[in-house]
Amino acid sequence: MTRVLVNGAGGFIAGHLVKRLKREGFWVRGVDLKRNEFSASPADELILGDLSDPRVAAEAVRGVEIVYQLAADMGGAGYIFTGEHDAAVMHNSCTINLNCLEYGRRAGVRKFFYSSSACMYPEYNQLDPDNPKCAEDSAYPAAPDSEYGWEKLFSERLYLAYMRNHGVQVRIARFHNIFGPEGTWCGGREKAPAAICRKVAEAPDGGSIEIWGDGKQTRSFLYIDECLEGVRRLVESDFTGPVNIGSDEMVTINRLAEMAIAISGKRLSVRHIDGPLGVRGRNSDNRLIREKLGWAPSAPLQSGLEKTYAWIEAQVPAAVAVGA
């Protein structure tokens, strides 16, 4: 039985990844600062600790063959783009990756998966909301619009340097807005689909919801199940990456809100307010993943949004009851 480590197992994507790996028959150790708040982890072993601590990192990688590194200090636009958390984001995430690689290679880990982000793409290629450029080879000259993006770009290079100098195998994916049930949906770190679903679920019929900016900024959103399929295919392939794992179904934020409102069955209006926005347009370019893995995400946004809205709608009454 192959022994694997999933860093960030108390979080959204990594929490779902633990479940998938267990279904596939792996022995799984999970590590995080906290337990998953929405469901019990099926991991064979769970370490509660901070991976920026060398002692925790060294314990985590002991006796495993593959590391899935998804632990990071991150959140949605309200957390990443204000600038208030830049030092913590860069320090914490860089330290985690440095520890993961150094103690991992010392312990004999043979393969590392690293979850990068589309936030590392240059801002200058994402100014036109209708024609963003996010092909993997467009990363340089580098000019991310946030320190979070700069950290991801640095860490990509860190993993590739360890592959060249220490002979470990590396797989790198650039995630594009992953969403689904059991993701953060309130508190300031939630991403757009969860935030909009929450606002719609909380609004009374005939009321309104708020959207940051004019709502004409564009994004693509990938449902969690397809994200995991892409991760597993990449890890089992001979392709190092980096490669986009995202949907190429681009929508405006206004359209995303319209979809969530329609799913709810409510009559709601939208009010546009000032707020952090990120780049003007972003969409996953899936040409490389099709070429290298013979696969690309294909599920429509509507289907994933329906499942996510139903889950968030069910969370709202319970959260109100406990004063969240």
Q: Which residue has the tokens 């996010």?
A: 134
Residue type, 182: E
User: Which are the contacts of 80, defined by CB distance < 8 A and separation ≥ 6?
Assistant: 74, 89, 119, 146, 148, 276, 278
Do strands 111-117 and 208-212 pair parallel, antiparallel, or not at all (unpaired)?
A: unpaired
Helix (H) / strand (E) containing 310: helix 301-321
**CA 284 to chain CA centroid, nearest Å:** 13
Catalytic residue among 68, 103, 121, 148: 148
Token digits of residue 259: 């979809």
Please give the Cα distance from 284 to 192 (Å, whole number): 16
Q: Is 114 a catalytic residue?
A: no
DSSP secondary structure, 233-282, as one string: HHHHSS----EEES----EEHHHHHHHHHHHHT---EEEEE------SB-
**Which residues carry out catalysis?**
148
